[in-house]
Structure 1
Amino acid sequence: MAYIQRGLENKLMALSKEYACILLTGPRQVGKTTVLRTLMTDSRKYVTLDDLEERGLAKRDPAMFLQMHPAPLMIDEVQYAPELFTYIKIEIDKGAAPGSYWLTGSQAFSVMELAQESLAGRTAVLHMTSLSQHEIFGSGDCPPFTLELTTLKVRETTHQPAGIKEIYERIWNGSMPGLISGKFTDRDVFYSSYLQTYIDRDVKEQVQLSDPLLFRDFVRATACRAGQMLNLHDIAGDVGVSDDTAKRWLQVLEKSDIIFLLRPYSNNLLKRTVKTPKLYFFDTGLVAYLTRYSSPEILANGAINGAILENFVAAELLKSYHNNGKECLLWYYRDRSSNEIDLVIESDGLLHPLEIKRSVNPGSELTGVFGLLDKASIPRGKGAILCMRSTLSAVDSENFIVPIWMI
């Protein structure tokens, strides 16, 4: 089983020289524990709160737990003992050295929100998702995706080119480290087990499930709408639950980083924009599994080929920022006349419009919709058509043509 180097490694080690505590968040099985254990030295002790005895001590007597396990220390699954956070804060305030505590836990669950409140100003919070295509296929360091020519040139040399066939293989295979590294070889068994573990260990802690299979059906109904505007009522109707139940369950999916919602861009000068978010999954392999596409070839010619390609692009853009420890201000634009820009990145006081096309040679007229942003209060910057072209090109001085493999 090969270890896959993660984009966050340099940022994590740099921050460990400045902050006494590092909190690495993210969904299950994306490699949080693996990357930290790979980076830790022999002097750092590892403790997992999956161990019920360790968890019990951490909850009953957190002060004794930290005495038994002195810094430098890595605590895995820290969400199981929120009582530790106050005592870690005390140790930091007493002068704990930089890098004393490395913590991992599930993103955005209430206990992690509590951790961030308790350790505010004392900890660096980093977020890890499933693998990016650069981590799987690329080489070297890679900056966040921007439309600066110098950055695009870097990505052109550090990413591995891919045509339509290879892109849909990447989409179908997904981005979970367990599969990509070769630790698990049966994709269907992996995703089935992943869902079962997720429901048993995470979902049941958040909502009372009388029928776990019903929640699994909900996740499948949600996957069928990846890359589309969210319609909770339709999802609820497909599964046979109330709209309120569907809303609660969707919040669980979002909080546990199975999905993310992309909000529409609007401001007081763009009053006719819609308010409904679009729905995406971080791992397109899970979408392909849930929607029962048995091969990349069938997926590439299936009904969702455009929607899942858009999902893939949006997820890769976010990952490029997460892997550099940065926030990505990503939106989409749609007005009430159904005029739409697939994605909009806000960066350095400019709005950068992006259109996603499955075509190898998209027409230059596609950039015409970018003018929809001219009425915004923030100036429009360079735009791009993201497509299946093999090389970096340009429509004109203000609009690039960027291969999807470069994202």
Structure 2
Amino acid sequence: MDFIERHAEDTLKRFASSFPAVLVTGARQTGKTTILKKIADENSVSSTTFDDIAEEQSALSDPKTFLELHESPHMFDEVQYVPDLFRYLKIEIDKNRHNGMYYLTGSQQFKLTEKATESLSGRIGIVQLYPLSAREIRRDSFSESFIPSKEYILGRNRAFSDYTFSVKKLWEKIYRGGYPEVIKGSLSPKDFYASYLKTYIERDIKSLSQVADEMQFLQFITVVASRTSQLVNYGDLGRECGISEVTAKKWLSLLVTSGIVYLLRPYSSNVEKRVVKTPKLYFMDTGLAAYLTRWTNPDVMQNGAMAGAFFETYVVSEVIKSFANRGEDAPIYFYRDKDKIEIDLLIEENNTLYPVEIKKTASPNSDDAKNFFITDRLKNVQIGQAVIVCGTDKVISVKKGEKTALAIPAEFV
């Protein structure tokens, strides 16, 4: 498969024309270097990678001289290895500030983002790059954030008027995941993810924290993958792996920091105190989660005990990517109270909340909309169109009591 256009490319070009520096961060092997190198090459910008130990040592030992020898505009790859460089980048930018001076990539986004915002506040545009979205894989040029208003749904419905929906192909996508090397067919999913985990643990985890037992950490990642789309329970995670609750919390933080896991916050503004305050965890790539939990093919996964969890994880990750590719933090939450009444997603825009239920069914009915009544408890906010994202092949109106929802295909996300 040839080069896959990334929707974040337009965002990065906009940032390069608006800020002295741009940073692409995210998990390993998501295509950070590829996308930024493409933009840098188009602007005749030379590049340096800190995968080169000599370059890394040069930057660490004398960053001031290093930057003098690598005049802007310049691209620095894998900048997480030299985080103190940000302070000297600020000095160089402030000497002769103009846009498009530095192009940076790096893993461990929270650590990098903290350094970048501390040193380069107002001087840097940051894009979080995740594995390929379903839109990108099918070469869909549509790149708007997922806000399920009626206008959005009508627009997507027109765009998909000639599209052939396939539940089988949808589950193949969920099983395979979105890492570029897997999508391009360079490696089988099994071979890629085995190598990926080994590199991830040996390089990212060791640099972020002292993990004494690598096999125990791998077991921990596997347990977390088996809990995707569930509320976080540190005690349960610890017991499963034979580690303390404190260690489980620390290790889950590592997975979040390195872009493997996303923690979805509960919605708590202007609601009763009985709502839960615990986040839900989602793997950001269903292919990696499938490998860890040992699903051998998409058909078995589709009919297995984790089918609902994988479908929900897939949809939530696609929603997050739709915002991230535009350089935005996803304004998303979930609702769950002590009575276990839950809405999978609440998406916020302009003081309006859009409630979203996620169901793997291809035949949605009124029971799938039964929890939308709970939005009446949300105060001082407008409630937008309620939707059910599911395996349907067309838009369907679903009514439960006084609430009417629209069931939409997962491909609309």
TM-score (norm. length: structure 2): 0.94
Paired amino acid for 2:409: P
- How do 1:242-391 and structure 2 match up within 5 A? 242-377=244-379, 378-391=381-394
What residue is the counterpart of 1:46 in the other structure? 47
**Structure 2 CA distance for partners of 1:247 and 1:9, relative to 1, 3 Å:** same
Query: Is the contact between residue 79 and residue 112 of structure 1 (CA under 8 Å) also seen in structure 2?
Result: no
1:73 paired with 2:74, answer yes
Give the Cα–Cα distance (whole angstroms) in 1 for the partners of residues 176 and 158 of structure 2.
24
Specify whether residues 269 and 63 from structure 1 end up closer, same or farther in structure 2 by C-alpha distance, changes over 3 A only.
same
Which ranges in structure 2 are unaligned for 5 or more consecutive residues? none
Contact 1:161-1:405 at 8 Å conserved across structures: no
Number of the residue aligned with 2:171: 168
Query: What residue number does 1:401 align with?
Result: 407
Structure 2: distance between partners of 1:69 and 1:152: 48
Report percent identity of matched pairs: 40
Given that 1:23 and 1:124 are in contact with CA atoms closer than 8 Å, whether structure 2 keeps it comes out as yes
Distance change >3 Å, CA 155–CA 9, structure 1 → 2: farther
Partner of 2:150: 149
The aligned runs of 1:101-140 (5 Å cut-off) are: 101-140=102-141
Alignment partners' CA distance in 2, 1:154 and 1:181:
30
Matches of 1:111 and 1:266 in 2, distance apart? Answer: 29
1:146-193 deviation digits (Å, cap 9, x = unpaired): 122332344345566533211111110011011112222x22121011
The amino acid across from 1:304 in the alignment is M
SS of 2:314's equivalent in the other structure is: helix
Say if 1:116 and 1:107 are closer, same or farther in 2 by CA, change over 3 A: farther
CA deviation after TM superposition for structure 1 residue 46, in Å: 0.8
- Runs of at least 5 residues in structure 1 that lack an aligned partner in the other structure: none
Equivalent-residue separation in structure 1 for 2:164 and 2:31 (angstroms): 25
Q: Decide which moves more: 49-58 or 386-395.
A: 386-395
Q: TM-score, normalised by structure 1?
A: 0.95
The 5 A counterparts of 1:22-101 are 22-40=22-40, 41=42, 43-101=44-102
**SS of 1:13's equivalent?**
helix
Q: Is the 8 A contact 1:143 1:151 kept in 2?
A: no
Q: Would the aligned equivalents of 1:373 and 1:380 in 2 still touch at CA under 8 Å?
A: yes
Where 2:237 maps in the other structure, the secondary structure is helix
Equivalent in the alignment of 1:178? 181
Could you tell me which amino acid in structure 2 is paired with residue 183 of structure 1?
A: S
Deviation digits for residues 174-223 of structure 1 (CA, Å, limit 9, x no counterpart) = 11011112222x22121011011010101112222221011000000111
Change (3 A) 1:128 1:284: same
